[in-house]
Amino acid sequence: MKYCTFQPQVNDKILEGKEDVVIVRGLGRHLELREMQKKKVDEKKEREEKVFGINKKQNKDIEGPFYTIPQPFNLSAVIYVIE
């Protein structure tokens, strides 16, 4: 501390007018839009979970994997046997 030469000047008097309200234009609308966006994202997530997700607690009787397993297929119903 003996090498420190900085001595700040502190204002000791109390500032008056602290009760003044600062009005920021557009802040209310900004917060409203943010809340609407958050609600929209939450609703989208909920819809996707309902449509695409499988709730394992409700579907306990379903066994096996919860995804599609590709199987080979035949496009024609006629099977040709060459003898």
Average pLDDT rounded to a whole number, residues 69-77: 69
Domain count, the chain: 1
Average pLDDT rounded to a whole number, residues 30-52: 92
**For residue 41, what pLDDT band results from cuts at 50, 70 and 90?**
very high
Residue 3 belongs to a domain:
no
Q: How far apart are CA 54 and CA 35, in angstroms?
A: 28
Average pLDDT rounded to a whole number, residues 61-74: 67
Residue 32 belongs to a domain:
yes
Residue span of the structural domain in which 40 resides: 28-53
Residue 74 belongs to a domain:
no
Tell me what pLDDT residue 44 has.
92
| Mean pLDDT value across the chain | 77
Residue 41 belongs to a domain:
yes
Tell me what pLDDT residue 1 has.
65
Kindly calculate the radius of gyration of the chain based on its CA atoms and give it in whole angstroms. 34
Residue 49 belongs to a domain:
yes
> What tokens does 44 get?
């989208």
